[in-house]
Every structure is written in C-alpha cells, then in structure tokens.
Amino acid sequence: MEMNLAILLLLSPFVGFLFNVFFGKKVSKGFSGTIGTLTVVVSFLLSVCFFAQLNQNGKAFEFSLFDWIQVGNFKLNFGILLDQLSILWLLFVTGIGSLIHLYSISYMHDDENMHKFFAYLNLFVFFMITLVVGSNLLVMFIGWEGVGLCSYLLIGFWYKNQDYNDAAKKAFIMNRVGDLGLLIGIFILANSFGTLDYISLKTAVSETYIMPAFLSIASLCLFIGATGKSAQIPLYTWLPDAMAGPTPISALIHAATMVTAGVYMVARFHF
C-alpha cells in the first residue's frame, strides 16, 4: 500500500503533463490549468501523509521498484527513499509548486499556449520529485538533468523574443558545465565503492579505505554540480538572465526548487 502511494506521489505530476500534452488544447484553459494544479496537490497531500507517518514511527520508507543495472559486481536498483531529508524537501517542492500552479491559472489565462505552460510545469515538478526521492545517485541524476531541461523550456517559453531564447540557452549550457563535474564525481564513487546507493555509500565510506585524495576529488566534483545548479560563484551568471521567463517560473525554479537542488545534494552527502 505504502509503495503504491509513493509511486502515485512520484507519477501524479507526470499524469498532468501527459493530459496537457495530449488533451490540453482540446479543453478549456481553466480546465487545463486545474488538472495541472490538482496533480501537484495530490503529490503534496501524499507528502503530508508520509511526513505524518515518519513523525509517528521515525522509520524511513525505502522501496525498490525494479533491478536497473547489473554489470559484474556493480548492481543498482531503481528505488525510492523517503526519509526525513527527502520528505522535508518534498513538502517544499509540492507545497510551493501547488501554490504557483494555482497562481499560474490566472497569470497565464490570456496566453494561447497555456496548456503547454502547464505541461512544462508538471514535467518540472515530476523531475524535481524524482531528484528528491531517488534512493541512489543515478536516479537523482535523472531528475537533475530533467529539471535542467524543463528550466530551458520554461525560461524560453516566450520564444518569439530572441533575448529570452538566449537566456534559456545560457542557463542550459552553464548547468551542463556543473553537471559534467557531478558526472565525474559519480564515476569516481562508483569505481571506488562499487555502489551509488545512499545507504550503502554511507556504510562504505566509513568502512572502506580509499585514498583521501580520491574522496576529496569526488566531493569537489559533486560540489561543482551543486555550484552550477544552485547558481553559486562562479557558475551564477545564468540566474539573473533567467528572470526573462514568466513570473511563476522565477518563483518556482529560481527561488523555491531547482536552485535548492544543489543544497539538497550537499545535505544528502554530508557524510
């Protein structure tokens, strides 16, 4: 039951994305926006339920959905981890996301591509949830890249203005610089410990001896990824230009969710 609820929490915004892609233009703008908003509200309510359960019994929820990668001794599952950190972040992402979706219904009502806007918004929230609830670095990386793609689509949403297109491209390219650092860090950790699972990595770091230099380089590479995503020096110059997108995008991506992804990742790997 809990596993089904966790999957629903993850996939609900994706259902909103699919609805707006295939049926958004055929229904009224208000209905399109309402469906997009309700799917995020469902995720928020489920996040509150998991938060209440975690508060009650203090035990994290871990679900393995399927075996994903197995190469030699390296094995990785596609899993969901709902612990104190991820549920706290989920409350931010889905709670603030719901309010911004609600505000966007009236803000974007006169835009002819309103259904497309809500499709991108829903897709962004889906990838942000994936980033937060993934039980290992590779699942987090899928969400990491997904929110980068959605930020490109949303910043350049009014694509007829070339300045907005340039701002979207700048954000996309500078994030890729940080993502290269993150990828190198992932490769170093996978090679050193034979796993990318958070819980296994935490145990391996304390029990396995590797040269401190390798651990320092891996940490630095992960931090470069955080620097790009969270617009920290020196990879911060994309953020002021990114305000070219519609106002709800600045509120959702550049104030509440995507720019905190780097902070989440640093907190996740505190060990």
pLDDT (tens digit, 9 = 90+) per residue, 11-68? 999 999 999 888 878 888 888 888 989 999 999 999 999 899 888 887 888 888 887 7
Tens-place pLDDT, residues 119-133:
999 999 999 999 999
Task: Please state, as a whole number, how many other Cβ atoms lie within 10 Å of the Cβ of residue 100.
Answer: 24
* Contact between residue 258 and residue 147 where contact means Cβ atoms under 8 Å apart: yes
b/e 2-24 (16+ beta carbons within 10 angstroms → b): eeebbeebbbbbbbbbbbbbeeb
Q: What is the pTM of this model?
A: 0.90
